[in-house]
Amino acid sequence: MTKLDRLARSVRDAHQIADDLAARGVKLSINGSLHDPADPIGKLLFNVLAMVAECEGDLIRARTREGMKIAKAKGRLRGQQPKLSAKQEALLVQLHDAGEHTMYELAELFSVGRSTVYRALERARQRAEKKAGS
């Protein structure tokens, strides 16, 4: 194995794996050096490496969340753009409410998937409920 963070995602997982290896009498080779999980020094080294690997993963996740928060605040993280414009969505809802078209026909008419039609109708329903509740 080249890196301990590839072995386990948390210290708890690493402990379970080390206990299993020790019970079977298997020694662990990490980056070329041999460690016996049954040996006290091997256990200590294994635990330290597992803690460092878990901390490294946590730091990466924290930096990613922070970067996404900054990008969102600057308007650079918008996600996927809607398939239908507001006018198209209003027309779709109007055609659906008229009851003359099936979901499949609406999807073909607007060149989108049926799931997009369902989502547009759900958003329209939520807006109507919010407006009625106000």
Give pLDDT tens digits along the chain (134 positions): 556 556 777 788 878 887 888 888 887 776 777 777 778 887 887 788 788 888 888 999 999 999 999 998 888 877 788 889 999 999 999 999 999 899 999 999 999 999 999 999 999 999 988 888 76
Helix, strand, or coil (residue 133): helix
37 in Cβ contact with 19 (< 8 Å): yes
State the Cα–Cα distance between residues 123 and 128, nearest whole angstrom: 9
Q: Which residues neighbour 93 within 8 Å (Cβ) at sequence distance 6 or greater?
A: 120, 121, 124
Rg (CA), the chain: 27
pTM greater than the 0.85 cutoff: no
